[in-house]
Amino acid sequence: MHSRSQLLSDVPAELREDLETRIDIIEHKLKYVTDKPTVAIVESLEPFRLASVDGELLNLAGGTAIKAEDAALWNDVKTIDPEILIFAIKGNSIPQTLSEVFEKVPMDIMGDLFAMKSNRVFIVESESFYNVTGEKLVDHLELVAEIINPKQFYFGFEGNGWVKL
């Protein structure tokens, strides 16, 4: 697992304590949560590709990552049947991703997914999702924790950082 010093290595000392406190809050609220839902994060629709996610960071936010190499096609996603599906299309805003999802995603497969049936499909602002470090990394953790565990967390990212499909 990442140590605090690794996660916050590029953060000035005066900000580090506040960021560590924010991470502590996430860890504390999830300490006794044993159900870590499976999460698939789509980073590209053409060609279809799942994001290579840092499994430890996703675990810290309360989820279990589906590895990019486990799903090369939509049918693989259907077989894996994630509990949560996140569309984080690189370079896209939420409206751009929303438009692409309706144009390019096979809705017959989407309709069969547990994530879709349980209303746990999300669109995220890619800017807050990739290549994040330091303070932005803690924002990213909070955003993902809010998506995965909405009963435990409200950080105010809904509408700005993410929306439900």
**SS3 state at 10:** coil
* CA–CA distance, 85 with 81 (Å, rounded to integer): 9
pLDDT for 6:
63
Question: Smallest Cα–Cα separation from 106: which of 163, 59, 48?
Answer: 48
pLDDT of residue 81: 96
DSSP 158: B
**Cα 95–Cα 154–Cα 110 angle in degrees, nearest 5:** 45
Query: Do the beta carbons of residue 23 and residue 4 sit within 8 Å?
Result: yes
Contacts of residue 138, defined as CB under 8 A and 6 or more positions apart, other chains included, come to: 19, 22, 23
Q: Mean pLDDT by 10-residue block, N- to C-terminus, for the chain (165 residues)?
A: 59 78 88 90 93 84 91 91 96 94 93 96 88 79 94 92 94
